[in-house]
Amino acid sequence: MDNEKGFVIVTTALLLVVLLGFGALAVDVGLLYSGRSSAQRAADAAALAGAFSFVSNPSAPQPSTAYDQAMSVALINNILGTPLTEPEVTVTIDVANERATVEITHTEDTFFARVLGRNSVDLAVKAVAETSIDAVATFCAKPWFVPNTVVSELSACDACAAGELLVDEGEVTVYGESKLGMSFSVKPQNPNSAMQPGQFYAVRMADSAGGNDYRTNIATCSTDVITCQQTYTLEPGNMIGPTLQGVNALTGTPADTYMGIGEYLDSQGNMSDTSRSLIIAPLWETCNLDGFCPDNRLPDGGANAQISVAGFALLFIDGVQGNNVVAHLLGLFGCGSITGPPGGPEDPGPFAGETGPFSVLVRLVRLP
């Protein structure tokens, strides 16, 4: 009987070790898995923020801007209630490929596993995000188009001849880059400023059937996809009321204030590199429209005219000033190497779910 009692004591002691092991597995591994998931989300968000800086502020100094954006986003995160610290975060910026890599190494204390001699575990995660060099499409364009010659002081046809274009053969021009930050009228309301009678730089979206849809597509996002090299019908008419209502709904009251590219001040005095006033508009390949030059007039009075998309412009909408919708030019994105017709072998998109309101793809990637 005494031998049996000793056996029970020894067996119980051994089982306690096993039970503690299972406790470590159930509690510690579960917590560590949760911690690793938090670390990965922090790394993903930081990498995307770093890559996004190439889109939201194309003229910003790099790699410092992307580094600062990635690091600041990483440091607002925590792992199991413990804020991340700068020594735990490594940010690497590849300017040539517009790519941000964020690595996080965090030491997390254990609970039951201490009995087994494991007091802590190192969590290590990595995220890589990049932007596409060229634009493909946008799922949130506003129903306005921007002529490729809009910022030139010359007439459209003379600007074409002088090469004063925002994009040329699918690439952003040096001339276009020099105009970033300038203010211009993206949607004139005064008939004297119209492209020609009845044409006020509006494009008809596929889901638009009148003034109400036009207003909604300004205030929110159209369900239509604006794609590189596609052609789109013009929307005739001034639509002063729907334009004003749509712009006010878009920007809010009071609207954010443009301070500089990537610097937008809200009504609370907070500065940010994003704003509800940021929009995308398609760039019209002005020079290649048959019959437009040399008279600077759309053929057939514009009744059957269509614009061809050469790229996209990122704009900050200041609001309606006088008779015009005024915007600042923030970024330009050409259609790049897309040389074939839409849907052809050299047309890469759009890919559902991969492009967004900024037209240039920003995505997490896994490098080989």
The CA distance from 279 to 277, in Å, is 6
The CA distance from 362 to 355, in Å, is 8
Distances from the Cα of 215 to the Cαs of 193, 279, 320, 323, 328, in angstroms? Answer: 21, 15, 14, 17, 21
- Same domain, yes or no, for 141 and 124? no
Nearest to 178 by CA among 145, 153, 160, 151: 151
Choose one of 131, 154, 176: the last residue of a domain: 131
- Same domain, yes or no, for 61 and 107? yes
- Same domain, yes or no, for 327 and 188? yes
Nearest to 71 by CA among 96, 43, 94: 43
Using the Cα atoms of residue 299, residue 218, residue 191 and residue 295 in order, give the sign of their dihedral: negative
Q: The domain containing residue 234 runs over which residues?
A: 137-360
Tokens at 109, concatenated: 């204390």
Residue 367 inside a domain? The answer is no
Q: What is the DSSP letter of 141?
A: B
Predicted TM-score (pTM) above 0.95: no
**The total number of structural domains that make up the chain:** 2
* Residue type at position 55: V
- Same domain, yes or no, for 33 and 104? yes
- Same domain, yes or no, for 172 and 305? yes
Q: What string of pLDDT tens digits covers the 368 residues of the chain?
A: 555 556 666 666 667 766 766 666 666 677 778 888 999 999 999 999 999 888 877 778 899 999 999 999 999 999 888 899 999 999 999 999 899 999 999 988 876 666 667 778 888 999 999 887 666 777 788 899 899 999 999 999 999 999 999 988 878 899 998 999 999 999 888 777 778 877 888 888 887 777 888 899 899 888 788 888 888 888 888 888 899 999 999 999 899 999 998 889 998 999 988 889 998 888 888 888 888 888 888 877 666 777 888 888 889 999 988 878 999 998 888 887 444 433 444 444 433 333 344 555 678 888 76
The CA distance from 302 to 287, in Å, is 15
Residue 316 inside a domain? The answer is yes
Nearest to 34 by CA among 81, 83, 71, 76: 81
